[in-house]
Every structure is written in structure tokens, then in C-alpha cells.
Amino acid sequence: MLERNITVAVVDGQGGGIGSAIVDRIKKENLDINLIALGTNSAATARMIKSGAAAGATGENAIVYNVQRAHVVIGVVAILMANSMMGELSPRMAQAIGESNALKILIPNDRCNIKIAGTQENSLQQSIEDAVNILKDYLDEIR
């Protein structure tokens, strides 16, 4: 079993709906990880904590600080794009996430106005399932 020294950060903004769905799905796997919620706003953070994240932090500095310490960062592809999420994701946040050494598991989302070639059109729920499977495979590799 993995020790809790593996930190997985879920990044979300606006209402935190996708982030809370990701947290909820990860929690169902009973993985021995430190699961943290990083919200661009307090509503997003609170919703992810309510879904089962062990801890949470809100805002630009919290995201910049914590993604540098995470082993895995999960969120929609827009977390790599400055001024996405209606401007909630700052250029500094996008840069910090992009420059983090963490494995980034990204979920496509039409609201980001980004289309990723070579991927099939999945429902949001299927994309979350795929993301959790990628996380589990990664955890198996590092054991």
C-alpha cells in the first residue's frame, strides 16, 4: 500500500462541479493518497472538500504554492491556459501548473473552447473515469 506521501491536487474554479466530481470518483477508489482541493475561489474549494478532499486551499498563491509540491495535478485542460474559467485562472496559476514537475492529468471540456485532436468525444463522466484510471496506473508504476 502506498504511503500518504503522494499528494494529488485537484484544481477547479467557478462552482467546483467538475473538481468535486473528480474528488468524489477518486475517493471511491480508496487510494492511500493525500488528496487536496485547489480552488480558484472559495466556493470551488468548499465543494471539493465536501466531496472528500482531505484539505483545500483557495486562490492564486495557494495554487502556485501547492502545485509545486504535488505529485499529480488533475483538472480540465483549461488549467494550463491563462485567463481561462472566465478569467479565474490567472496567467501565474497556468504557468505554475505547466511548470510543475507533477504528472498532469487533464480532462477535455468544451467550455474551454479547446479541441484536442486524436481524442474521442467522451462524456464528462467518462473523461473523469479515464482520469482516475490514469491516476491508478501511475500509482501502480511508482510503487
pLDDT in tens, 47-94: 999 999 999 999 999 999 999 999 999 999 999 999 999 999 999 999
| Domains contained in the chain, number | 1
pLDDT at 2 over 60: no
Structural domain contains residue 28:
yes
Distance CA 143, CA 126 (A): 26
Over the stretch 11-39, which tens digit does the pLDDT of each residue have? 999 888 999 999 999 999 999 999 999 99
Structural domain contains residue 74:
yes
Structural domain contains residue 2:
no
Q: What is the CATH number of the domain that holds 70?
A: 3.40.50
Global pTM reads 0.94
Helices (H), 6-123: 17-27, 42-50, 60-67, 91-99
Mean pLDDT of 109-136: 86
Tell me the residue range of the domain where 76 lies.
Answer: 7-142
Give the CA distances from residue 124 to residues 47, 106, 107, 127, 133, in Å, rounded to whole numbers and listed in that order. 18, 12, 8, 5, 14
Nearest to 142 by CA among 134, 117, 30: 134
Cell of 66: 501547492
Structural domain contains residue 1:
no
